[in-house]
Structure 1
Amino acid sequence: MSVQAWFSSGEIAAQPGSQLTLQLSIQNLNQSAESYTIVPAGLNASWTAVERSSITLFSGIQDVVDVVVTPPEAPTTSAGPAIIAVRVVPLSEPDDAVVAEIILSIQPFDDRRIVSLQPVKRARRRATYEFMVENHGNELASCRLKLVDTSERIDGSFDPPAVGVVPGGASLVQFKAKALRGSFRRATRTLDFEVEAEQQGHDPCIASMSLVQSPTIPGAAIFRVLTAAALLGGLTAAWFGVIRPEIRDAATDLVDERIAELAPEFDDRTAPAPATTAVDDDATIETANVGDSDGEPSFIRLTVDAPILGTADASQPIGEGITFDMTDIRVENSLNDTGIAQLFINGVQVFQWSLSNIRGQYFEPRITPIRLQPGDNLTFSVRCDAKGTTSTADTCSTRINIGGRTRPA
């Protein structure tokens, strides 16, 4: 052996991506001067660079050459021991070449990434995201997947919930997202969240994603619906509060005026079929023989609003100093309610009608004039069984118009 070479250290730790300078000692054992070529050798020669690739030594002389080693920060740089070798070749005797070796202890490093294939998706409530968990470090990554949403507006599940990725490998994961709350929206809403791959003792890797929710009910549609509802409500209020009462009052006044004009001309020929009529046989009712020229024409109008399944009445006394000869009776059931209507004189029933047989108006035919003395009391009583099918009121509204003549007592 004409040359000897060795490193000053036996083993040294190295971090991938960092640079180490090692000192290689070379001694000429030959009896004459010799030139040497120094080249990296072994499996990791690509990591190694020699500052002086050629030196000349006299006999017995020793020199030191710097060897720079740079382990790459890549998944292929496995953690653990690695051998760095340098070959020293004498130019005069190449077969006497020697190899100097040193063991590097390569340290582990982490480089984990989440690469989202769809970082932003548009949906009303649910969406499925796909992303890759990549391991660019030099040791196995065993990660659990986790949702990070501080606003608590997103929920979902991972498939699979955990992955194991070898150095330089990647694994596909699906995240099925579901938006919480906010089922009705007038405008577009963006929900931002993060997914995280974590492993105890290692820094987590995080990726940001977004769910863009389109509006479920546009603001313009809400405005149009509210406007239409307000207009309809105004028309309804105007109908029930103003127009309908005015029409009914005008119609009632017109009917009353027409009846007043035609009452003296009413006879048996124009009378409709009678409703159910009953007179108390035990009561004594005073009748009178009157002519068209006796007394002044007079009308009494009584209105009763009886609650459903209830009874109500209205009364009218005869004034002092006059008598009233009752000659005409008209019952009004304009809403077609059902029930019983009764007319009493001083508490004695003289007429009874079934409202089911009266549609609109009914004139009591062939009435014998009945004389009422001063202080006598007329009472109109109504029992409401059911309101008419077209009625919107909560009561049965029934009227009676009593015609006759008054004269001094």
Structure 2
Amino acid sequence: MTTSAHLDASPTSVLPGEEVRIPLELRNSGNVVEAYSFEVLGPAARWSVVEPATISLYPNTAGQVELVVRPPRDTTVAPGELTYGVRVLPQEQPQHATVPEGVLHVRPYAEFAAELTPRMGTGRTGAGYRVALDNRGNYPLSVALSGKDTGDLLKFGLPSGPTLVEPGRAAFVKVPVKPKRWLWRGTPVPHAFQLHAVPAAGPEGAPEVAPVALDGSLLQRPVLSPGLLKAVLAVVALAAVLAGLWFGVLRPVVRSAAKEAVKEPVKAAQAKAEEAKKAAEDAKKAGGGDGGSDGKPGGKPGGPGSSPSPSPSPSPKKPGEGPGPQPQAALFSARLTAAAAAGGSDTATYTVPEGKVLRLTGLILENPQGDNGTVVFSVGGKPLLAPALENFREQDFHWGSGLLAAEKQEVTITLTCRTVGRPPAAPAPTKCSAAALLNGTLE
């Protein structure tokens, strides 16, 4: 071999952005003058050159060139060891080319910046901030955040652990800041605080990175602003005006209108009550005759020692007409129940016994499930009441003189179901259900 080349075998250290020169020794052992050119091989080739680019050597002479390495200060140049080579190409005898190799150690460098936005926040219960962590070095940075204010009046929503920022990248961290106590009223209060971004130690040989202090402030506004207080006072004043209008003007008018509305129905009810009372007195006189024509015992027509016999109550011609209750009347109470599916109907009936007259003085209609439909109350086939089920759960009626049902007449309720209701906290029923409680006397 007529050409030999030699590089320093020890690793050469270089910092990105700087320059290092590595000597390359050559020797021409041939018998002709040889010119040499060079080619850098490996990852460092894009930012390395040989100076001079060519060299000529006489036979049996030696020379030297320099490998100039200039790695850029860029985050893409990662720290660590790189193996490189330089191909030495003889022009006269290219078959004798040689490639000496070397090791290049790229050192780490750090460039770190941080920014807080916004610098001043405002709010009643706090404000949100964002910290931008910018790593412009060539190795990853682990950055921890901390916060502090002078009066220890604020709470900082800091991340639980450090934030890893890759080289050439930026990381954004949200930091909410809240006051420990609310400001209910008064003027806004400013709070100054400071966040610290502290990078951790880098790889071996990396320079120490100084922490960055970020100044910020929070303007705490009162919860009850002057405008809100004015609105609350206006609402209270309006409520007071409306209350005075109701009690002073509208309520007396409504009461007066209500009295006028029920005046005529009350008069009609009183007239009916007087008629029923007169009929009861007449019936009592008709059934209470003495034992004889002269009012003494033993007179005619009862005979000696005979007792007066009450005359039977005449049967009414129409339901609801007749004299007052007889002294020997027995108390009466009965319950009628009817059930029907949606779209259907059902009837419950009570028949007055033979030789008796039923005097109804009270009626209670029940709709326990809240069904929709109608229930018709009839006496002797004549409908007297037909209320809608959806208008009541329990409804009672009372009559001073009573509704009369003659012997063998029927008292009925007829249920017509439109929609089955559903009582609270109970299984859904399949049928409508209604009932009537009858109260009165059986004479």
TM-score range for the pair, normalised by the shorter chain length: 0.3 to 0.5
Under a length normalisation based on structure 1, what TM-score does the superposition of the two structures give? 0.47
Under a length normalisation based on structure 2, what TM-score does the superposition of the two structures give? 0.43
* Larger relative strand fraction: 1
